[in-house]
């Protein structure tokens, strides 16, 4: 009888678990897009007044300018953001070249206006050490065309700034200004223009006119390109022979610093450029700009049909490589099952299999949930990359609001495991109609939750596979993500479909009640880890807010389970909800909290990762140890405790001529992501030891002190031989 009661308790537990999972999954995905937008609004490095069209940042002035002095319904106007960097400082074109970041402008208005894309002036090549960037070394105006509808109607945006018969335009501008070092900047610029029947030119009209003379021609050319083992050949017809230079839209195509060879026969111009080491795969279409410094043309290029044999010869190798990476992803998925925050969830589900005779639909539902979630991740990543954003594996863990949601999710799971509230209460039965009993939906929800909590990890074997997935064509991304999903889902799916595998499980009994409560503590440990991640993102003060909210949340949930009177239940429910909403609001408030770069500062001396600094140290024949890490990366933290905390490694890193460089990817950082992509990695950890310009060595993802020390000593020996 006890065994049956224990089994029944587990069934009720699964009902509650299912309800929790369904609610939090909805919240998780619904808030991702919002948090993606909010997280980018960090504290600006400029000082600007409210409702001002002018801002000053380090080594730059930024202004929002208008070409016309008023707004006329049914017309087209032009607005522009003027960047004035200090002498010897520069900003960037849409493709910054070897390093840097293009400016961005996000528009809002209190009227329904249509803002088009930026018109980019002709860029120039800017040498920086042995690299070349594309951008502007002097004052430059980025002009945007704005369409005014015939029926001007106010919108909900900027209502507080609305003035009768006045159009208010707000531009959220971000930029990077560089010399030898780079300084990011942000500002919100505002411009008010009256609505009238006729518009005149403003005092800035000449600046707009002069800028248009630096635009590429409106005539877009078509061209061909051919990719060889060492170069890319760009071909354009109907341009006058001249010293043309190619500026590709993609930053991974060519060696930007290499000389470009121009060959022209009068009607056809071919430009040969050494290809980048980071260009992988094939391209069917490319866009580029050709410029001689005074005029330019945008070119829409297609792959030359003259090289089909090369593509055919390379296809078997590509398929073989894809198969190898798919196998690595599959093995990596298997290893993900034993990650600390995944194993307790799978254990609960495995114990729930004791009492069920299920249909094939039920048996495969968990596999379906895993496949769904991995493919959803793949789809989000592909869509974000197609929109121009750069993301990596575990990207959602860079959002503080996602970390908060997961912290409350695991706290709630732990409370249910400890029977802090009745499993048949109304609150515990939220979502009962969607996921009922030992239903297929319950198993599906478990699969999706397991993927979400496993995603911060990068298991051995899957790192290289994910790196290829995130820098390749969408179909490669989908194939590798599905291989990872099958590997991840296989162990528990075998328990569902195989009677022999199911017999491996211990028989049900009273021990299940004890085991259920024990599983609450790994959940609390996961919550502690998530709070630590949150501290790295928002600071210790807001971590205290989150911890306090979690404690109060536990108290009110417990009181809710003990409540009898409807008023008391309502009070405790509202109080628990407020405890949840407070840290969610805190995590989405850009003006609250600050990043504390404490990291390993108390144990190891390091410098923060910077690509230009790394290049300089390599050229100076220094030994450089690069550690790419993140607070939410469990493997990273294990390596820091096992390898980098040892006295021998500290001594090796403290040697003269050795520099320890730390890249913290806890929060989004495009420079670190670009570095990871160079090594075909989609996430952290990544450890690289440079022997000056002589060689570089990628260390394994699971480190030992001896592996780090050996790599450093080998690099020092190679540098000594060079000198």
Strand partners, 171: 107, 189
Residue 449 CB-half CA count within 13 A: 29
Q: Name the one residue in this structure whose structure tokens are 């993140």.
A: 630
pLDDT for the residue 403? 76
Return the H-helix or E-strand segment holding 293: none
Rounded to an integer, what distance in angstroms lies between the CA atom of residue 567 and that of residue 244?
78
Measure CA of the first residue to CA of the last residue in the chain; give whole Å.
80
Q: Token pair of 131, please?
A: 């690299």
Rounded to an integer, what distance in angstroms lies between the CA atom of residue 291 and that of residue 660?
41
CB 307 within 8 A of CB 231: no
pLDDT for the residue 634? 57
Residue 440, Cβ neighbours under 10 Å: how many?
20
Rounded to an integer, what distance in angstroms lies between the CA atom of residue 648 and that of residue 256?
41
Rounded to an integer, what distance in angstroms lies between the CA atom of residue 316 and that of residue 227?
18
Q: Token pair of 698, please?
A: 């990628």
Residue 358, Cβ neighbours under 10 Å: how many?
16
Read off the DSSP letter of residue 527.
Answer: H
For strands 261-264 and 268-274, give the pairing. antiparallel
Q: Exposure pattern of 451-465 as b/e (b: 16+ CB <10 Å)?
A: bbbbbbbbbebbbbb
In 3D, which of 717, 483, 525 has the Cα closest to residue 634? 525
Non-local CB neighbours of 501 within 8 Å, separated by 6+ positions: 494, 495
For strands 91-97 and 140-147, give the pairing. unpaired
Cα 662 from chain centroid (whole Å): 19
CB 183 within 8 A of CB 59: yes
In 3D, which of 183, 472, 188, 462 has the Cα closest to residue 325? 462
Torsion of CA 499, 505, 507, 512, to 10 degrees: -140
> Starting from the edge strand earliest in sequence, which strands make up the sheet with 114-119, in order?
54-57, 60-66, 76-85, 140-147, 114-119
Give the DSSP letter string of 211-251: HHTTSPPS--EEEEEEE-SSEEEEEEES--SS--EEEESST
Rounded to an integer, what distance in angstroms lies between the CA atom of residue 490 and that of residue 474?
24
Supply the pTM of this predicted model: 0.42
In 3D, which of 214, 230, 242, 231 has the Cα closest to residue 93? 214
Q: Token pair of 501, please?
A: 């595998």
* Total count of residues recorded for the chain: 723
Q: Token pair of 264, please?
A: 């022209």
Q: Is the four-CA dihedral 495, 499, 504, 509 of positive or negative sign?
A: positive
CB 428 within 8 A of CB 15: yes
In 3D, which of 109, 256, 110, 81 has the Cα closest to residue 185? 81
CB 351 within 8 A of CB 504: no
Torsion of CA 529, 532, 534, 539, to 10 degrees: 180
pLDDT for the residue 207? 95
Rounded to an integer, what distance in angstroms lies between the CA atom of residue 713 and that of residue 74?
71
Q: Token pair of 582, please?
A: 């407070």
CB 143 within 8 A of CB 211: yes
Rounded to an integer, what distance in angstroms lies between the CA atom of residue 21 and that of residue 83?
48
Non-local CB neighbours of 155 within 8 Å, separated by 6+ positions: 109, 110, 111, 112
Torsion of CA 476, 480, 481, 487, to 10 degrees: 160
Q: 289 φ, ψ to 5°? A: -115, 135
Dump pLDDT digits (tens) for 93-105: 999 988 888 999 9
Dump pLDDT digits (tens) for 248-290: 998 888 988 888 888 777 778 888 888 887 776 567 889 999 9
Residue 160, Cβ neighbours under 10 Å: how many?
7
Q: Token pair of 5, please?
A: 């009661």
Mean pLDDT by 10 residues, the chain (723 residues): 45 50 46 41 37 86 94 93 94 90 92 92 88 91 94 65 77 89 87 90 94 92 82 85 89 87 78 80 83 92 56 45 79 69 58 57 76 81 63 57 76 74 47 45 70 55 56 76 83 72 59 68 77 73 82 84 80 84 72 43 73 90 90 68 83 90 82 84 83 87 85 88 59
pLDDT for the residue 506? 56
Rounded to an integer, what distance in angstroms lies between the CA atom of residue 442 and that of residue 361?
12
| Cβ-based burial of 402 (10 A; exposed 0-12, middle 13-18, buried ≥19) | buried
pLDDT for the residue 662? 92
Rounded to an integer, what distance in angstroms lies between the CA atom of residue 53 and that of residue 190?
5
Q: Token pair of 455, please?
A: 């995603």
């Amino acid at each position: 009888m006890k065994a049956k009661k224990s089994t029944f308790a587990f069934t009720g537990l699964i009902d509650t678990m299912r309800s929790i999972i369904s609610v939090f999954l909805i919240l998780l995905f619904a808030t991702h897009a919002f948090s993606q937008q909010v997280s980018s609004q960090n504290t600006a490095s400029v000082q600007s007044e409210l409702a001002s069209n002018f801002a000053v940042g380090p080594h730059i002035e930024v202004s929002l300018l208008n070409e016309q002095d008023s707004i006329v319904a049914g017309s087209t106007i032009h607005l522009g953001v003027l960047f004035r960097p200090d002498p010897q400082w520069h900003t960037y074109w849409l493709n910054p070249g070897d390093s840097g970041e293009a400016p961005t402008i996000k528009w809002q208005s209190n009227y329904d206006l249509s803002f088009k894309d930026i018109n980019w002036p002709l860029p120039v090549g800017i040498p920086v050490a042995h690299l070349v960037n594309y951008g502007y070394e002097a004052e430059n105006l980025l002009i945007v065309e704005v369409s005014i509808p015939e029926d001007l109607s106010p919108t909900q945006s900027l209502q507080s700034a609305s003035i009768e018969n006045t159009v208010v335009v707000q531009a959220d501008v971000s930029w990077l200004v560089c010399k030898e070092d780079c300084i990011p900047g942000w500002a919100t610029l505002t411009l008010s223009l009256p609505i009238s029947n006729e518009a005149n030119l403003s005092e800035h009209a000449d600046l707009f006119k002069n800028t248009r003379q630096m635009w590429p021609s409106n005539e877009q050319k078509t061209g061909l390109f051919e990719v060889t083992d060492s170069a890319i050949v760009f071909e354009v017809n109907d341009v006058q022979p001249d010293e043309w230079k190619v500026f590709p839209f993609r930053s991974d195509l060519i060696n930007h610093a290499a000389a470009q060879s121009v060959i022209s026969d009068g009607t056809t111009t071919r430009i040969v450029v050494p290809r980048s080491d980071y260009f992988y795969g094939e391209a069917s279409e490319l866009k580029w700009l050709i410029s001689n410094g005074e005029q330019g043309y945008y070119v829409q290029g297609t792959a030359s049909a003259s090289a089909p044999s090369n593509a055919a010869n390379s296809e078997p190798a590509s398929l073989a490589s894809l198969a190898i990476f798919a196998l690595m992803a599959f093995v990596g998925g298997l290893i993900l099952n034993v990650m600390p925050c995944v194993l307790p969830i799978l254990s609960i589900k495995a114990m729930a299999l004791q009492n069920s005779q299920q249909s094939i639909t039920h048996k495969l539902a968990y596999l379906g949930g895993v496949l769904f979630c991995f493919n959803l991740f793949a789809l989000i990543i592909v869509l974000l990359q197609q929109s121009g954003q750069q993301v990596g594996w575990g990207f959602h863990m860079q959002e503080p609001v996602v970390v908060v949601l997961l912290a409350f999710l695991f706290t709630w799971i732990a409370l249910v495991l400890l029977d802090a509230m009745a499993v048949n209460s109304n609150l515990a039965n939220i979502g009962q109609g969607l996921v009922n009993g030992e239903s297929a939906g319950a198993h599906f929800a478990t699969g999706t939750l397991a993927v979400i909590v496993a995603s911060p990890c990068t298991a051995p074997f899957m790192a290289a596979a994910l790196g290829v997935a995130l820098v390749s064509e969408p179909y490669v991304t989908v194939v590798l993500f599905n291989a990872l999903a099958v590997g991840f889902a296989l162990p528990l799916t075998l328990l569902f479909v195989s009677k022999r595998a199911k017999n491996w499980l211990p028989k049900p009994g009273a021990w299940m009640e004890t085991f259920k409560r024990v599983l609450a503590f790994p959940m609390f440990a996961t919550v502690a880890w998530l709070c630590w991640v949150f501290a790295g993102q928002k600071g210790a003060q807001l971590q205290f807010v989150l911890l306090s909210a979690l404690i109060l949340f536990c108290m009110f949930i417990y009181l809710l389970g003990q409540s009898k009177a409807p008023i008391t239940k309502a009070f405790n429910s509202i109080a628990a909800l407020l405890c949840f909403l407070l840290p969610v609001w805190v995590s989405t408030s850009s003006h609250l909290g600050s990043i504390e770069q404490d990291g390993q500062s108390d144990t190891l001396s390091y410098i923060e990762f910077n690509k230009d600094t790394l290049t300089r140290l390599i050229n100076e024949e220094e030994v450089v140890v690069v550690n790419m890490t993140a607070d939410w990366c469990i493997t990273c933290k294990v390596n820091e405790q096992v390898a980098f905390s040892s006295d021998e490694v500290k001594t090796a890193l403290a040697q003269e001529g050795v520099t320890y460089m730390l890249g913290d990817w806890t929060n989004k950082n495009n420079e670190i992501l670009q570095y990871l992509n160079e090594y075909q990695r989609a996430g952290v950890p990544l450890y690289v030891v440079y022997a000056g310009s002589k060689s570089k060595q990628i260390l394994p993802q699971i480190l030992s002190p001896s592996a780090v020390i050996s790599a450093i000593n080998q690099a020092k020996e190679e540098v000594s031989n060079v000198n």
